[in-house]
């Protein structure tokens, strides 16, 4: 697949996300856009909660960064050769 990507934007995404490769940065960005779209859809549907209920809906100990680190990374490229 060939893509034209703004190199400055990609560098900023890599720096801010801690991505170690361009592929990893793009994968993270796509996952984040998918999360955002899902959240916007849920919010637009109202969730069925009153404003006060929404305030109590998220555990204050919830750590988004730790949750993302636990996700299985996507590996790209060739599989190691068997010997």
Q: What pLDDT does residue 72 have?
A: 64
Residue 35 lies in a domain: yes
Q: What pLDDT does residue 63 have?
A: 81
Residue 80 lies in a domain: no
- For residue 53, the enclosing domain spans 7-70
User: Which residue stretches of the chain are H helix?
Assistant: 7-17, 22-44, 51-55, 64-70
What's the pTM? Answer: 0.54
What's the domain count of the chain? 1
Q: What pLDDT does residue 13 have?
A: 92
* 17: exposed, middle or buried (Cβ count in 10 Å: 0-12, 13-18, 19+): middle
Q: How many CB atoms lie within 10 A of CB 19?
A: 17
pLDDT in tens, 35-70: 999 888 887 876 777 777 777 777 777 887 887 777
Residue 1 lies in a domain: no
Residue 78 lies in a domain: no
Check whether 81 has a pLDDT greater than 80.
no
Please enumerate in sequence order all residues whose Cβ is within 8 A of that of 17, keeping only pairs 6 or more positions apart, or say none.
25, 28, 29
Check whether 10 has a pLDDT greater than 70.
yes
């Amino acid at each position: 697949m060939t893509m034209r990507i703004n190199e400055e934007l990609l560098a900023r995404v890599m720096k801010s996300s801690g991505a170690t490769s361009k592929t990893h940065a793009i994968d993270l960005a796509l996952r984040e856009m998918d999360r955002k779209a899902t959240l916007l859809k849920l919010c637009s549907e109202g969730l069925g909660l009153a404003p006060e209920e929404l305030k109590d809906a998220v555990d204050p100990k919830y750590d988004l960064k730790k949750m993302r680190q636990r996700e299985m990374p996507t590996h790209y490229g060739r599989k190691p050769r068997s010997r």
